[in-house]
Structure 1
Amino acid sequence: MQNRLTIKDIARLSGVGKSTVSRVLNNEGSVSPQTRERVEAVIRQQGFTPSKSARAMRGQSDKVVGIIVSRLDSPSENQAVRTMLPLLYQQGYDPIVMESQFETRLVEEHLHVLQQRNVDGVILFGFTGLTAAMLSPWQEKMVVLAREYDGFSSVCYDDDGAVRLLMERLQQQGHRHISYLGVQLADATTGLRRHQAYLDACRQQRITPSVALGELSYQSGFQLAAEVIGPQTTALVCASDTIALGAIKYLQQQHIAPLQVCGIGNTPLLNFLFPETFSVELGYGSAGLQAAQQLLGQLSGEQGIRQIIVPSKLA
């Protein structure tokens, strides 16, 4: 029964017109919340998914991939998406880009919409709070970026290696008083992994750690810099280039003698404004390309589930 239902049937059961059902399926905004809820309830009850021929008749591609980014204004995620798109287009897939804003509720809503639209696969930018159980219906046709989940393909950055590269470079330059500005440990990668890598490097180099943890923002870097910069401090490792920008602003405002500041991300803005800093390239573009390649391989049956780590390098 499920496969024989048409949009006309859903319209009749919902008490609305076919055009309204079509707008709900396409997630268009010109439908009242009450009507949308009524139509979606019928769709769920009937287990309805639009056929590929129906999608083609509506002028949509027969092959669609969802891309769920955490922030549309994230430079790193934009770099990754830019490398995905040409490959997806080349293989005949139309991408649908959605934003989670680091909210699990929005991810669930987006995945529900993508399921209704019968998309072929999903590339998801992961974040703390998402679980494998939440994503389980997509296991065979999803690739997660920046987070690992058991049983899912993932493309992750080498957070530990990035911090090790910075600490080794600073040691070679003769620095013995290296402070760290990071992110709260609830964040598993930018927070916990990079912080732990700094502590491990301090132990190996036999230097005393000095740490302040806050948010992933330049405001946090500006506000927390005073907690870790003392008379003996000669270098500052920041968990991201964004934090580094805030810390440098603090140093300038307080007229503190220049320190060797370094970050992670290789943001062009940091290098342009403060060429004396150095940063680690995490490989955002490479990660996006590899995520698209992995998903296409899974959808074609040529590639199994696997975990990929993108190596870091000093810029």
Structure 2
Amino acid sequence: MQNRLTIKDIARLSGVGKSTVSRVLNHEGSVSQQTRERVEAVIRQQGFTPSKSARAMRGQSDKVVGILVSRLDSPSENQAVRTMLPLLYQHGYDPIVMESQFDSQLVQEHLHVLAQRNVDGVILFGFTGLEAEMLQPWQEKMVVMVREYQGFSSVCYDDAGAVNLLMDRLLQQGHRDISYLGVRQSDATTGARRYQTYLDACQRHGLTPHAALGELSYQSGFQLAAEAIVPQTRALICASDSIALGAIKYLQQQQIADIQVCAIGNTPLLSFLFPETLSVEFGYGSAGVQAAQQLLAQLSGDAPIRRIVVPSKLS
């Protein structure tokens, strides 16, 4: 992707503010003729073209942000996106939402389309297997959710902290037989990091681990519950709310009522159907706000690249 001049660059070369350049581009009348001519001369000299394709999509504004979610049906990602949108709209940006389906090739294709449209920035929900090299051209104008990449801004959840919160609370309640349902360790965060934290906590407290790992779905939670739940199990930690829904269905079917189910991720559906579930609130909404704020700050030149970890809390 070729680098292009921004309104900030034109403002610097013209010796005026960004808002003045915006008023010239939008043909607003509150600019003196002399200033207008100076800005227009710089625009012509530099061959500056604002995001025309973005204007064609949305009218007169040339400010667009791409949002690449991994799954359109993901409750957690939807919560984050919902909190991003008002901030983006407030600052004059319109979003283009695209779905990667955990497919690196699709991400590459989407980023190519966004580059052709000269979008201003991108918020990307990362996933295991997505290489940083593919993202490199967007380094200064991208925020990655969930995953960390060297040299990129990221907004991540506290995977280890969430598991430790649940383990500590269960131990305080007197539980010693705590099983775990998780995701395969090929997934770096939801899978490996959360599972390892469970194993480490069991070792610290002298507990015998009982675990089963599968997919990030309620079907997997249902199928794997039989493997992780042993006769002495009195508490069950699930690596996600969707896994917890499947596990609870299994417990109901087996008429097992004396196990405290815990979930990482407190989605409205889980809390509505099973309010007795002990959940960790991951801060999906807060993460969305912080991702949008970070991207806006980067695009305006007001913030360096940084890593943000959203703290978890028991709900």
So what's the TM-score if we normalise by structure 2?
A: 0.83
Counterpart AA for 1:153: S
Question: How far does residue 203 in structure 1 lie from its aligned partner after superposition?
Answer: 1.0
Question: How far does residue 241 in structure 1 lie from its aligned partner after superposition?
Answer: 1.0
Q: For the residues of structure 1 that align with 2:132 and 2:60, how far apart are their CA atoms?
A: 30
Q: 1:84: which partner in 2?
A: 84
The unaligned stretches of length 5 or more in structure 2 are 4-46
Q: For the residues of structure 2 that align with 1:231 and 1:156, how far apart are their CA atoms?
A: 36
The unaligned stretches of length 5 or more in structure 1 are 4-48
Runs of 4+ in 1 over 3 A off after TM superposition: 53-57
Q: 1:52: which partner in 2?
A: 50
Q: 1:29: which partner in 2?
A: none
Q: For the residues of structure 2 that align with 1:283 and 1:74, how far apart are their CA atoms?
A: 15
SS at match of 2:156: strand
1:217-239 CA-partner distances (Å, limit 9, x unpaired): 11111111111111111110000
Q: 2:259: which partner in 1?
A: 259
Question: How far does residue 163 in structure 1 lie from its aligned partner after superposition?
Answer: 0.3
Q: For the residues of structure 2 that align with 1:114 and 1:50, how far apart are their CA atoms?
A: 18
- 2:63 pairs with 1:99: no
So what's the TM-score if we normalise by structure 1?
A: 0.83
- 2:136 pairs with 1:136: yes
Q: For the residues of structure 1 that align with 2:62 and 2:84, how far apart are their CA atoms?
A: 19
Q: Is the 8 A contact 1:83 1:286 kept in 2?
A: yes
Q: Is the 8 A contact 1:158 1:312 kept in 2?
A: yes
**1:253 and 1:155, CA in 2 relative to 1: closer, same or farther beyond 3 A?**
same
Question: How far does residue 97 in structure 1 lie from its aligned partner after superposition?
Answer: 0.6
**1:57 and 1:298, CA in 2 relative to 1: closer, same or farther beyond 3 A?**
closer
Q: For the residues of structure 2 that align with 1:50 and 1:223, how far apart are their CA atoms?
A: 58
SS at match of 1:147: coil
Q: 2:119: which partner in 1?
A: 119
Q: For the residues of structure 1 that align with 2:128 and 2:60, how far apart are their CA atoms?
A: 34
**1:254 and 1:50, CA in 2 relative to 1: closer, same or farther beyond 3 A?**
farther
Counterpart AA for 1:312: S
Q: Is the 8 A contact 1:262 1:279 kept in 2?
A: yes
Q: Is the 8 A contact 1:147 1:156 kept in 2?
A: yes
Q: 1:22: which partner in 2?
A: none
**1:82 and 1:99, CA in 2 relative to 1: closer, same or farther beyond 3 A?**
same
Q: For the residues of structure 1 that align with 2:214 and 2:177, how far apart are their CA atoms?
A: 21
SS at match of 2:161: helix
Q: 1:246: which partner in 2?
A: 246
Counterpart AA for 1:259: I
Question: How far does residue 257 in structure 1 lie from its aligned partner after superposition?
Answer: 3.5
Q: 1:190: which partner in 2?
A: 190
Q: 1:28: which partner in 2?
A: none
- 2:162 pairs with 1:165: no
Number of aligned residue pairs: 269
Q: For the residues of structure 1 that align with 2:145 and 2:51, how far apart are their CA atoms?
A: 31
